[in-house]
Amino acid sequence: MKKIFIIFIALLISLNTAVANEKFEFRYNVHDNLPKKWVTEFNNIMDVLQEVLPIQDNMNDYLKSSGMDIYAWKSTKNPFPKVKKNMKGSCICGDGSTRWMQLEIPSEELAKKYIHRYSVIAHEYFHVYQITLSENKLSDRDSPKWLTEGGAKVFEEMYVNQYYGKDSLKNDLKRTEMWSKKVLKKPSLYEKHKTSNKRGMDDNYTGSAFMVLVLVNELEKNNISEQQAFQLVFSDFWIERAKHRKWEKAFEKTFEMSTEEFYEKLGKYKRGRLKKILPSKNLKIQDIFS
Ligand SMILES: [Zn+2]
């Protein structure tokens, strides 16, 4: 009996190490100018994300690095002078030979407790997830901006709704000055950053988020659940994206409609009618990524 018990323990230990080894490594470089509370939440959020949306450890080629450095700081000039000069903004950034994550948290967001101070972590992490599933097909040339950024925007809002009980999705969508009617009339403009980045067109990627929510709503009409529809948009499309030369093909395969068909349906929506398309408040990310 004792022997069996020891074998069992040994097995458990080896299983654990196997799991630990498979995990993609994120290295945290958190500036000491950030409040303790933010750092605690950052650690928690990263733990949840890595559990629910794990990044496979064989993704180094696509991320052009062995593991990934994350630099986080409260807005200040030249936060990490020894590593890289004058980092600015939040992004998955690259210099051609390597990639890293930047999280610049404005003092105002911390002082006024804007939820964006946390949602930005989920947003940038989600881009890493998209990069790995699609095998690095995230640039404007490779995938439509509205699916890339709209997906990340909707995901981050869902995250903070679930864990902090608040989000800014509805408010942003209600503010018509943040996004343009062109979403309905000329959606192809939202396939590229450069044709949709004028002020008021897609501020905070609100127009792109509207497009993603309409897509989910249309998918639900095919008798699939809200969770399944989000899974198609958040994961399946990106997995399919890796297999095709053109994103339009991946779109058609995943959603069983062409981009043109979708844009036509989108044209029938109204900006003010949000009730139908906003995600259910009780939707959990664990139900989508399972
Ligand atoms: Zn983004």
Domain ranges, ordered by start, for the chain: 24-136, 137-290
Per-residue pLDDT for 11 more than 90? no
Q: Using an 8 Å Cβ cutoff, are 96 and 62 in contact? A: no
pTM exceeding the 0.75 threshold for the entire prediction: yes
Tell me the CA–centroid distance for residue 123 and ligand 1, in Å. Answer: 6
Kindly compute the dihedral angle of the four CA atoms of residues 5, 9, 14, 16, in this order, to the nearest 10 degrees: 140
Tell me the CA–centroid distance for residue 254 and ligand 1, in Å. Answer: 22
Structure token digits, residue 166: 């608040």
Tell me the CA–centroid distance for residue 40 and ligand 1, in Å. Answer: 23
Q: Which CATH number fits domain 24-136: 1.10.3470, 3.30.160, 1.10.1740, 3.40.30?
A: 3.40.30
- Tens digits of residue pLDDT in 122-131: 999 999 999 9
How many angstroms separate the Cα of 193 from the Cα of each of 90, 108, 200, 205?
Answer: 16, 27, 13, 10
Q: pLDDT band for 18, please (50, 70, 90 cuts).
A: very low
Tell me the CA–centroid distance for residue 214 and ligand 1, in Å. Answer: 19
Structure token digits, residue 240: 């399919």
Tell me the CA–centroid distance for residue 152 and ligand 1, in Å. Answer: 6
Tell me the CA–centroid distance for residue 2 and ligand 1, in Å. Answer: 54
Q: Using an 8 Å Cβ cutoff, are 122 and 90 in contact? A: no
Tell me the CA–centroid distance for residue 153 and ligand 1, in Å. Answer: 7
So what's the pLDDT on residue 96? 81
Tell me the CA–centroid distance for residue 148 and ligand 1, in Å. Answer: 7
Tell me the CA–centroid distance for residue 64 and ligand 1, in Å. Answer: 19
| CA distance between the termini of the chain | 37
- The three-class DSSP label of residue 79 is coil
